[in-house]
Structure 1
Amino acid sequence: MNQSLLLAVDQGTSATKALLVRADGAVVASASAPLAIGHPRPGWAEQSPEDIWDSVLTAVATCLAGHDPGLVAGVGLTNQRESCLLWERATGRPLGPVIGWQDRRTADRCATLLADGLGEHVRAVTGLPLDPMFSALKAQWLLDTHDPDRTRARRGELCLGTVDSWLLWRLGGGGDHLVELGNAARTQLLDVRRRDWDERLLDVFDVPRQALPRITASTGPFPAVRGLPPLADGTPVLSVLGDSHAALFGHGVFLPGSVKVTYGTGSSVMGLVSGPDRAEDSPLCLTIAWDDGIPAYALEGNIRSSGATLRWLAGLFGVGEAELAGLAAPDAAGVHLVPAFGGLAAPWWDNDATGLLSGLTFGTGLPQLARAALESVAYQIEDVVAGLDTASGRVTALLADGGATDNAALMQLQADISGGSCAAPGTATCPPSARPGWPAAHWGCSPGTDSPARPAPRRCTARSCRRRIGNAASGPGTRRSPGPAVVPSPVIPRPAVVAPPGIRQPTELPPPRIRRTAAHHEHSERRPRAQ
């Protein structure tokens, strides 16, 4: 007898992926459609709204080729966050591009608001630092460009939305203008405690409420699919989550204590907390991971450049990203790379930080640069994990997903630096962010159960760092102590840890966290800048 299937659509920054999944979690088919990112000016990053929709059409059609679309019981959607666009309500015609989450065109406006003393209020209400990464400043720029007096916005003729809003609009045939709560929490316009748009912030950013979408839970209700061939019109959309939020859910993290790391163009480090008050005095962002009737709060650190750093370096030398990792030396030989291509995000939130490559000698070559690039990713992750230690307890294992989890050298390096294990899904082509999450309820299982099945993770357990590390926290000539050989579990509570002799038990005080990124940042700030 034919089994019902779920279609998971993962709309990301560089590609849209589609996976056809059985009730037991097995992937029946998958497809990916690449997406271009435009950089028309320094610091700008934008995409075509129609290209994004076309990539969804292509990925879905390719994934379902050779399969009976009538077996698809529902669709789960996950999307890139913070990116923002504007379109006409009557025609669905986009007005301008999707302004990407990496975009820095609003940095000057952000600096003005910070100088006016609004940073503390914005953070207190939204849980987010005042930064161009979030949607509010992008929304203001779009309205300033296409509706400067806000006449059309106030009449309800224009729709402002994040990528999930755009996709739901297109999937539903141009009906309801909606945004999922977790995505709304990344706009910097939402009061995360009241879970509604904040009137004062709407005034600060000059965004009329009439242009904003209606907020809905992660489980909907959402409009049924229309015009997504070969799916039948009327196929239900069962859940919507931001990509990093879906990854956390896909890893089976339903209580505080475990942390997931998504390695993409940038990176996201996220763990649940017991409530919004746990975010006080944290350098990380408070956000809403999902809402199935009860909002789940999380702390997150966003890193602007991780996979993008490797892609940049690979492009300079005309090699592939996988080849770059294979060419990396065991030691960077004193070469340090700070990937502040657009400033530094969590936990530093410094828009003025600049990229830095130091420690070069005549002996420096691609192997040392490749190693330094890998280290720049791993150390940025570690900086954020240190912030999560305080709010959610000692982090002993990282649950990794994203394309970079295929990079064994990076995963091992991450385990070495973090002093714990780094567990990744069995295949990077089926990341937790693309797993269906709540649509599993279609078969009667609820969050927290072990159905559907998950691929067995690959594990990189901690080993001794064989390199002397000089950094601001511990000084030169200090070795990073090896961490526990932890086998993480997606089921909470964690199992007991059995470590071999000589390996630090997790109940002991951990060694000082490494602050290498900060040390490099301070170095770059001491360097004179051209006027």
Structure 2
Amino acid sequence: MAASNRLILGPLVGAIDQGTSSTRFLVFNAKTAELLSHHQVEIKQKFPKEGWVEQDPKEILRSVYECIEKTCEKLMQLSIDITNIKAIGVSNQRETTVVWDKTTGEPLYNAIVWLDLRTQSTVERLLKRIPGKNKNFFKSRTGLPLSTYFSAVKIRWLLDNVEEIRHAVSEGRAMFGTIDSWIIWSLTGGKNGGVHCTDVTNASRTMLFNIHLLEWDSELCKFFDIPMDFLPKVRSSSEIYGLMKSGALSGVPISGCLGDQSAALVGQMCFQDGQAKNTYGTGCFLLCNTGLKPVLSEHGLLTTVAYKLGRDKPACYALEGSVAIAGAVVRWLRDNLGIVKTTEEVEKLAAEVGTSYGCYFVPASQVYMLLLGPS
């Protein structure tokens, strides 16, 4: 279609939403926030051993490219000019850990997903080095207890168990990142000059980040014996990190990055102290904005960076409570038990039942996370 026949809607904004269960790309009208088009692709999870949860970083990246291209095709079918897309933001599953080779661009192991439990023995070994085996020993710096949940122990496991990663680290070829870092590095050029960065919200979920100083903590890196030179540069949640280097949106700046739960807090406009959001996805997460000061909980809640909307803007913090298994149960009912054929059927079946007669279904993995996880 000729350019003169395309709809001119003013500036548009694209959003990459890379979650545990799926990837989406959405395009909004920047002035009205109207969703113009989107595309979604499910992501496979691998369970090589009991309690282990992995994903293929290359499959994740392919899904991002597919969602962008399909959404752009849909926009063009609607006669919407994709050159009006002026910026792209990234929202991602947090804590999920990837290590890759910067010279080849290839992952050195599958991504270890946030709810993976293989690192319990690593946590127990690290606890022996802490006075009183206090899992909250580093909480004043990180806002987090020592747990299987966070990226530092996942990195430690990889360094202890994957020879290829140890070798790449010793040769200075290895890069670590949460999913946001992997996506941004790949989209901005990868091995040909890709930008290796993360934002403060994702960094605050690694257990290597000082949430007060907003920088990697050398003492924490020393405790976990993790080299600081393969960590990404920490940036704010709202600035230009780099430009798209391929595909339909080549040249468009990637200019926003938030871990998914922080992104939901911002998306729900919870910008005032005391405002909170609750979201239901693979897991269920409640975040409450605590303003410019991090608040430490004595009741099992996590303290996390909520957002930092610009290089020169202050960081805002949140308290977080999490339930690891929520929507994942629906997927399990569909894929493992075969009770439903589509996820949409679950609501219909639930609505037909007047009462549970006092019976509750709790996934065993959820009980395990409650016993061993952040709370």
1 CA distance for matches of 2:256 and 2:217? 25
Matched, 1:11 2:18: yes
2:372 partner SS: coil
- Report the residue type matching 2:278 in the other structure: V
Q: 2:140 aligns with which of 107, 112, 124?
A: 124
CA distance in 2, matches of 1:68, 1:307: 35
Deviations 1:391-444 (A, max 9, x none): xxxxxxxxxxxxxxxxxxxxxxxxxxxxxxxxxxxxxxxxxxxxxxxxxxxxxx
SS of the residue corresponding to residue 361 of structure 2 reads: strand
Q: List alignment gaps of at least 5 residues for structure 1.
A: 353-383, 385-531
The letter for the 2-side match of 1:301 is G
1:298 aligns with 2:306: no
- Identity across matched positions, percent: 34
Provide the C-alpha distance between the structure 1 equivalents of 2:358 and 2:333, rounded to a whole number of angstroms: 18
Contact 2:240 2:253 in 1 (8 A): no
Matches within 5 A, 1:351-370: 351=372
Report the RMSD for the aligned CA atoms in angstroms: 2.0
Alignment of 1:108-257 (within 5 A): 108-116=121-129, 117-147=133-163, 150=166, 152-153=168-169, 155-174=171-190, 175-227=194-246, 229-231=247-249, 233-257=250-274
SS in 2 for 1:252: coil
Q: In the alignment, residue 252 of structure 2 is paired with which amino acid?
A: T
Pair 45,327 (structure 1): closer, same or farther in 2 beyond 3 Å: same
Q: Deviations over 1:34-69 (max 9, x none)?
A: 110111111111111110000001101111102432
Q: Which amino acid is the alignment partner of residue 76 of structure 1?
A: G
CA separation of 1:57/1:98 partners in 2, compared to 1, >3 Å: closer, same or farther?
A: same
Q: Does structure 2 retain, via aligned residues, the 8 Å contact 1:155–1:210?
A: no
> Residues 340, 193 of structure 1: CA spacing in aligned structure 2 closer, same or farther, 3 A cutoff?
farther
**Distance (Å, rounded) in 2 between the aligned partners of 1:343 and 1:200:** 33
Q: Greater strand percent: which structure? A: 2
Q: Equivalent residue for 2:337?
A: 316
TM-score, length of structure 1 as denominator length: 0.63
Look up the match of 1:412: none
Q: Distance in 1 between matches of 2:165 and 2:103?
A: 20
TM-score by length of 2: 0.87
The answer (yes or no) to whether the contact 1:268–1:302 under 8 Å persists in 2 is yes
- The question of whether the paired residues in 1 share the 8 Å contact of 2:88 and 2:254 is answered with yes
Q: Write the distance in 2 (CA, Å) between the matches of 1:22 and 1:281.
A: 42
User: CA deviation digits over 1:127-177, x for unaligned, max 9?
Assistant: 112111111111112222335895642553210110000011011102221
Matched residue, 1:524: none
The answer to whether the aligner puts 1:104 opposite 2:117 as a matched pair is yes
> Larger deviation: 273-282 or 245-254?
273-282
* Aligned residue in 2 for 1:334: 358
* Distance in 1, Cα, partners of 2:35 & 2:56: 30
Shift of 1:277: 4.7
Q: Does the residue aligned with 1:78 lie in a helix, a strand or coil?
A: strand
Contact 2:108 2:165 in 1 (8 A): no
Task: After superposition, give the CA deviation of every residue in 1:184-226 in whole Å (9 maximum; x if it has no partner).
Answer: 0011111111111122221222210011111111113301111
1:270 and 2:293 equivalent?
A: no
Question: For residue 190 of structure 1, what is the amino acid of its counterpart?
Answer: F
Shift of 1:110: 1.1
Contact 1:85–1:142 (Cα < 8 Å) also in 2: no
Q: Which amino acid aligns with 1:62?
A: K
* Aligned counterpart, 1:473: none
Structure 2 unaligned spans of 5+: 1-6
Cα 1:83/1:258, change in 2 over 3 Å: same
